[in-house]
Amino acid sequence: MSDPVIEVGWIAEAVAAEHPELRLLWIEQPGGTGRSSAALQQRLALLSDRFRGAQAVTMRREPVPHAYRAFFRAVGLDPDETRTPVEAAAVERLMHGGFAARERVADALLLALVETRVPLWALDAAALDGPLGIREAARGDRLGEGPYAPDLAPGRLVVADAARPAAILFGDVAPSHVPGSATTALRVFTVQVAGVPDLHVEEALWTCAEALDREAGPR
């Protein structure tokens, strides 16, 4: 296995002016969803054993989680009400007594998040039109496409391709872009904010790619 190629997304001019250190990066991975292997489930179980209550409580003071909390406040989100991804994962672990395995893509994303504190999301690559970037939602924008695509409030920060928003920044992925069993290629992306080192972001993407490669087996 070789390290995946990390692509850098675009940032709309107005967004970049307000958040000059904001970056979006992604990798392409073959495959789609499916049952996680016993090996991946075991890796999550081992993480659960290492990630106990005291660590979950003090984690927000670590540099990377603290950086995402600061960004949430900068865009008008209260991180004590709208939890950052790693803090949300910590709460789930405490509530359920462990990181529950769901399916291979979600589990690989969770593994990378807990190990690096950097959040990642996956999109069905076939639903995308060109490179990803971050912009403000425009009037009339909807999250994805199709009759069930929800409307977006103008000005909300979104992850978009050339055609439309694919996800809310640090929020939901468009229903039309969620990977499924018929997905043949994934685009896994992450968002880097001020205070998060490049090395952590790269490690998150590589950790997720490595987990997905192991799930796919030899190619």
Residue with tokens 């390290």: 3
How far is Cα 200 from Cα 1, in angstroms, rounded to an integer?
20
Any idea of the CA torsion for 172, 177, 181, 184, to the nearest 10 degrees?
-130
What pLDDT digit, counting tens, does each position of 5-14 carry? 999 999 999 9
pLDDT at 58: 79
What's the confidence (pLDDT) of residue 218? 42
- Number of Cβ within 10 Å of residue 101's Cβ equals 19
Query: What's the order of all strands across the beta sheet hosting 10-11?
Result: 10-11, 133-136, 157-160, 165-168
Given CA atoms 147, 148, 151, 156 in this order, what sign does their dihedral have?
A: negative
Domains belonging to the chain, first-starting first, are 7-216 (3.50.40)
What's the pLDDT at 53? 64
Separation CA 85–CA 77 (nearest Å): 13
Bridge partners for 122 per DSSP: 188
What's the pLDDT tens digit per position in 149-194? 999 999 999 999 999 999 999 999 999 999 998 999 999 999 999 9
pTM (2 d.p.)? 0.92
| DSSP-derived 3-state class of residue 127 | helix
Per-residue pLDDT of the chain (219 residues; tens, 9 = 90+): 567 899 999 999 999 999 999 999 999 999 889 998 888 888 988 888 777 666 766 788 899 999 999 999 999 999 999 999 999 988 888 887 778 788 999 999 999 999 999 999 999 999 999 999 999 999 999 999 988 899 999 999 999 999 999 999 999 999 999 999 899 999 999 999 999 999 999 999 999 999 998 776 543
pLDDT of residue 92: 84
CA–CA dist 133, 23 (Å, integer): 9
Do 89 and 110 meet the contact criterion of CB atoms below 8 Å apart?
yes
- The tokens of 10 are what? 């675009």
- Is residue 200 within 8 A of residue 117, CB to CB? The reply is yes
- Looking at the chain, the whole-number percentage of residues with pLDDT higher than 90 is 71
**Can you read off the two tokens belonging to residue 31?**
């495959």
Give yes or no for a contact between 26 and 187, defined as CB atoms under 8 angstroms apart.
yes
